[in-house]
Structure 1
């Protein structure tokens, strides 16, 4: 009888044991990074094994926005941050300009911490969608107003002028300090001992940060590590979004060398996230992009009158109407998704970009509460009729 009781007592652990619950999510977005951009690191990385090779679960997403087949970063980030398709230019609003709750607002209700890192201005389209609401991505000063009152606990990027050199002369830099942020406009100060009761913000450029070709240091991997050092102080978990913003910018400039260097930098940040996940149970790492930029390809090089298949010549799509000019704009090619950690297998397959949000919410159970906007005063403003987009 004792043997039967012992078997019954351990049976639930054997047969019905649950996976480690997911409490930390790190979402890395390589803006403009299609499969070809990502592939550069396998040919231009000094024979080092890329961190991309550490993923075992890979999927593809359709990135089209609600009104356009080819998305922009704002609609793409709205899909990731809110789980809804919207028009190009929308910052966490629907196609009628109405407020949609983003992931940071959802987590604030649950007292779960969040952080944002980008090589662009922190008010730029992708990071903005995770804390702000605006009808147009171009309204950087309006977007900046949301950051002090948002649930963001850590941020690092550029965009200082949108807080302290505004057209309305309002000092939102001081407002951030009043809301508990300890700010730095000089460096990440990696040796700083961070405290649980403080928030931290880094505004290290007037607008976007320098590109890698212009001499940007290891800001992206360092800021990712700095954010993780801070966010892991809480046992309830966290959400961290990291954007390699300038892969897209180099794509728009049809600058292959710039793309290569920005992807290498982004891969370093991926390595930081994966190292953390390997030593912290319950961490999910997702790497993807909002869209591809430039119709970028790794093609064979010309060799006399023919092609040399042993040499690569990065190239960009040439417009059919003007074959001498690089297209250098967004394309609608499907985008890869890489996932690591608990629940990573759920990101395999082909699906919509909005599913990234919904898969995260289902795996973490973060969205079990009512998701109506908490700030009802915002709704009439956002309900005003939109101009055509």
Structure 2
């Protein structure tokens, strides 16, 4: 991106930030072990709606390398919410982001609607830089669980109003309308910039343009990002790569949550091609994270899901003679909603073995906290 285009695309604010403590440089060089990168980076990657069949589909419907094969430690997460056997993304996202079981539809609050601290806030106190990436709106249930608090997941405008005052240093997603086309008429892009964010509403910038002394927000669609089958570019792997390049320039460990949001929507629509396009894209983003973790050596990558969606099954199909053929896969769905199935947990890097076994989804929160001490 040339400088003229950068100036056109970036929404910048003159340094009124001098009066706002949140505008201090992002460099998190503090006292203690974390300042020298003794604690591992953590990249948590959530395939929304990704059960075992969704995960397996990559082996049958993706061309090229299957990155999930690179994991050696695997486990399973139980996903029921506090109030229902079948969870929604609000309760499941809160379980992983805040460590509590809550009711379906809750975001960052317990069953009594009390706010609960999230991973982003906690690890930020431990000198971690933090980021959130999603192919949904930033304020959708799962990503919102990592920075916001709401008694109802549908209150996306209210959750957008909380982002500028969060501990997030980097974000990339859709959802621009919840910041600048709100019913209350408030433009929260101004608030983001006042609190030190450089905000881009048109495209990701290049790694050469990223600076360690700024915070970055990319809101690239009014609503969610386009479907992969409708022509979405390499947004998810590219945003993951850009976030990593940003954090590499900051002398502190980092926590990054990356969500393949629309795997879930393909399941809800009972749309195999939609689902597979999102799964393959998510696997590409996983590859970006693993490439970095393998090279850097002090990064734990965790891949999991909030729940399974669609009752997706890779059942046998029929051959040209009309006979059942076990060499033919005929994907099918049993529901347009979520299911109670356990979901996979894959881990790579320092202490990856702690993610093996079968456990409640709240344990993912606790295991990550233990890593970042």
The TM-score normalised by the length of structure 1 is 0.85
- Residue 248 of structure 2 corresponds to residue 225 of structure 1: no
Superposition deviation, residue 171 in structure 1? 0.9
Match of 1:337 among 336, 341, 345: 345
SS in structure 2 of the partner of residue 254 of structure 1: coil
Superposition deviation, residue 231 in structure 1? 1.2
1:164 aligns with: 180
SS in structure 1 of the partner of residue 131 of structure 2: strand
SS in structure 2 of the partner of residue 338 of structure 1: strand
1:283-322 equivalence runs, <5 A: 283-303=299-319, 304-317=321-334
SS in structure 2 of the partner of residue 213 of structure 1: helix
SS in structure 2 of the partner of residue 149 of structure 1: coil
Contact 1:156/1:201 (<8 A) preserved: yes
Cα deviation code 1:119-154 (max 9, x no counterpart): 000010011000000000000000001100000000
1:175 aligns with: 191
1:348 aligns with: 356
Cα deviation code 1:178-229 (max 9, x no counterpart): 1111111111022542222210000000010100111100000000000000
1:4 aligns with: none
Match of 2:370 among 348, 362, 367: 362
Cα deviation code 1:248-301 (max 9, x no counterpart): 001100000111111000000000000110111221000000000000000111
Q: 169-178 or 21-30: which moved more?
A: 21-30
1:19-38 equivalence runs, <5 A: 21-38=38-55
1:5 aligns with: none
**Structure 1 residue runs without a partner (length 5+):** 1-19, 318-326, 366-389
SS in structure 2 of the partner of residue 241 of structure 1: strand
Contact 1:21/1:364 (<8 A) preserved: no
Contact 1:63/1:291 (<8 A) preserved: yes
1:142-157 equivalence runs, <5 A: 142-157=158-173
SS in structure 2 of the partner of residue 43 of structure 1: helix
Superposition deviation, residue 306 in structure 1? 3.3
**Structure 2 residue runs without a partner (length 5+):** 1-36
Cα distance in 1 between the residues matched to 2:368 and 2:202:
34
Cα distance in 2 between the residues matched to 1:302 and 1:199:
54
Contact 2:40/2:299 (<8 A) preserved: yes
Match of 1:42 among 52, 59, 65: 59
Cα distance in 2 between the residues matched to 1:165 and 1:234:
33
Match of 2:336 among 305, 328, 336: 328
Match of 1:209 among 213, 225, 238: 225
Q: 232-241 or 25-34: which moved more?
A: 232-241
Superposition deviation, residue 23 in structure 1? 2.4
Question: Larger radius of gyration, structure 1 or 2?
Answer: 1
Superposition deviation, residue 110 in structure 1? 2.8
Contact 1:63/1:76 (<8 A) preserved: yes
Contact 1:42/1:49 (<8 A) preserved: no
Contact 1:251/1:296 (<8 A) preserved: yes
Cα deviation code 1:69-112 (max 9, x no counterpart): 00001111101101111111110100000010001111232332
Match of 1:255 among 252, 268, 271: 271
- Residue 126 of structure 2 corresponds to residue 110 of structure 1: yes
Superposition deviation, residue 21 in structure 1? 4.6
- Residue 322 of structure 2 corresponds to residue 270 of structure 1: no
Aligned residue-pair number: 336
Contact 2:47/2:260 (<8 A) preserved: yes
Cα distance in 2 between the residues matched to 1:237 and 1:21:
8
The TM-score normalised by the length of structure 2 is 0.88
Superposition deviation, residue 35 in structure 1? 0.5
1:386 aligns with: none
